[in-house]
Amino acid sequence: MAEAHEPLKSTVLGAAAEARGARMAPFAGYLLPVSFSDGILKESLWCRTHAALFDVSHMGPAFIELSQRTGDPEADHAAIARLIEPLVCGDLARLKRGQLRYTLLMNAAGGIDDDLIFGRPSADPEQGKLMVVANAGAKEADFDRIRKALGGKGRLARADDGALLALQGPQAAAVIAGLLPGAPALAFMELAAAPFESATLWVSRSGYTGEDGFELLIPRALANSFFERLLADERVRPAGLGARDALRLEAGLPLHGHDIDAATSPVEAGLSFAIAKRRAAAGAFPGAARVAREIEQGPARRRVGLAVLEGAPAREGAPILADGRIVGAVTSGGFSPTLGAPIAMGYVPPALAALETGLAVEVRGRRQRARVTALPFVPHRYHRRPA
């Protein structure tokens, strides 16, 4: 995390965003676009109907590789997985070539220090490496931990000096086909290196909006021209972090530092899908004992979606009440552009977590009716490979 006295950093696309009228605000040590001239509401709706382009270059992509590659990519991958798995609850060893996996960086108390995406390259010469993408606010600490875990056996090469773009929405595949013809062949959570002009980009079918879409890691020298090429397509409009936050909330996706943090367990957070059975059974990551106990006995609280049925949006910190008694708090909340109504996520005791449970939220001293609602609020439309 950047100290308050450090000057704010800019992404490689910061000037281009400002030139397009972005409203900029500080986030995780960077000055970033919160919204463009369309505003958060229209940007969010454009993403649900067309294709929205987000600059997420503040995040922390990096590549992990062995100091001494064996020449056998399978052996290299297995060796890297053995070094990194002790930090996370997911299965990296069995990650297939060309696949992404969402997992959690765990602490000894069974809490979540960060949520991470790992990716395994599919083709030479990158095979045997492991890509990781960390959250902006946690990336320095994450990279330090990964380096420490590698010891002298491997190295972490940051890749956060270029651009990380997210192109999201039902028209994203048709748009990207014009620039990266191979990209639409990917399915959700797949990764490939893609040649573009004289360089190689990384493209994955993934995102943080619930829509189909792509995330693109672009070398610094190409970043601005690629950004402008995408925006030259009339199906694409730029969107800021405000829309990104509204869309991920609608998609029921947790935001680290808000909906999940160093005290929250994956089981409480409803993220058990990110825990590998093999790893939990072996107790082979920090906090595994708590995780195993909560899987067996149930957690003390659960993350739920809330439809706020009247009044103002209930935002982070708003108390959640049942029968007049405080039973939890909102961890993310706001107005859903797609639903045209306030929605929220928060934690409540398991007995109050069942769908349709009637609760209340308190906003500025006023109690408003709310109801436990299935997550996601807006259905995911990922491009999954048929099972």
List of residues contacting another protein (CB under 8 A)? 34-35, 39-42, 44, 242, 245-246, 311-313, 315, 334-335, 337, 342, 364
Toward another protein, which CB reaches closer, 18 or 294?
A: 18
Beta carbon of residue 44, minimum distance to another protein (angstroms, whole number): 8
Q: Is 80 exposed, middle or buried (0-12, 13-18, 19+ CB in 10 A)?
A: buried
Q: What is the DSSP letter of 374?
A: P
Beta carbon of residue 272, minimum distance to another protein (angstroms, whole number): 31
Toward another protein, which CB reaches closer, 116 or 246?
A: 246
Toward another protein, which CB reaches closer, 154 or 210?
A: 210
Toward another protein, which CB reaches closer, 267 or 363?
A: 363
Beta carbon of residue 47, minimum distance to another protein (angstroms, whole number): 13
Beta carbon of residue 331, minimum distance to another protein (angstroms, whole number): 16
Task: Render the burial of 350-380: b for 16+ CB within 10 Å, e for the rest.
Answer: eebbeeebebbbbbeeeebebbbbebebbee
List all residues 6 or more positions away from 103 whose beta carbon is below 8 Å from its beta carbon: 88, 89, 90, 92, 115, 116, 117, 118, 274
Toward another protein, which CB reaches closer, 255 or 276?
A: 255
**Residue whose C-alpha is closest to residue 128's, from 66, 83, 202:** 66
Q: How far, in Å, CA of 213 to CA of 236, rounded?
A: 12
Beta carbon of residue 243, minimum distance to another protein (angstroms, whole number): 8
DSSP H helical ranges for 251-345: 277-281, 288-297
Beta carbon of residue 291, minimum distance to another protein (angstroms, whole number): 34
Toward another protein, which CB reaches closer, 155 or 315?
A: 315
Q: Report how far Cα 244 is from the mean position of its chain's Cα atoms.
A: 10
Q: How far, in Å, CA of 176 to CA of 181, rounded?
A: 7
Q: How far, in Å, CA of 267 to CA of 294, rounded?
A: 6
